[in-house]
Amino acid sequence: MATLTYVYADQTAVLGPLATYAEPHTYDLCADHAGRLTAPRGWDVVRLAVDLTEPAPSPDDLLALADAVRAAAQPPPAQEPAPRPSPGDRPADGAAVTSDRRRHLRVLPDV
């Protein structure tokens, strides 16, 4: 993985080590996209020394994934049903009424 930073004033794209925090005009790239990076015509690309080999999954990665799946499978805590608003009702702050749908993880097939 690498971080791409655009320096618009210098018309330069800098590809360097993965950033530790987000900044404007920066994008994290996988090894494939970092290796194929091109810049607009007239721009310079500065490639800092970056190890683009993908790290092997660790046991911590597997445990984090299992914890996320377990958390997503837990039923939401029981709550008293809220009164249903009338079609013309709006909350006091003027915000729109939103539904409380439960989100969950999905597995996508390999293509």
Q: What is the pTM of this model?
A: 0.48
Per-residue pLDDT at 43? 93
Residue 26 φ/ψ, nearest 5 degrees: -120, 145
CB contact at 8 A, 77 and 100: no
Residue 42, C-beta contacts closer than 8 angstroms, at least 6 positions apart: 11
pLDDT at 96 > cutoff 80:
no
Q: What does the pLDDT average to over 23-27?
A: 84
The C-alpha angle 28, 52, 41, rounded to 5 degrees, equals 60
For 33-76, write each residue's pLDDT tens digit: 888 888 889 999 999 887 777 777 788 888 888 899 998 888 87
The mean pLDDT of the chain is: 79
Q: What residue type is 91 in one-letter code?
A: P
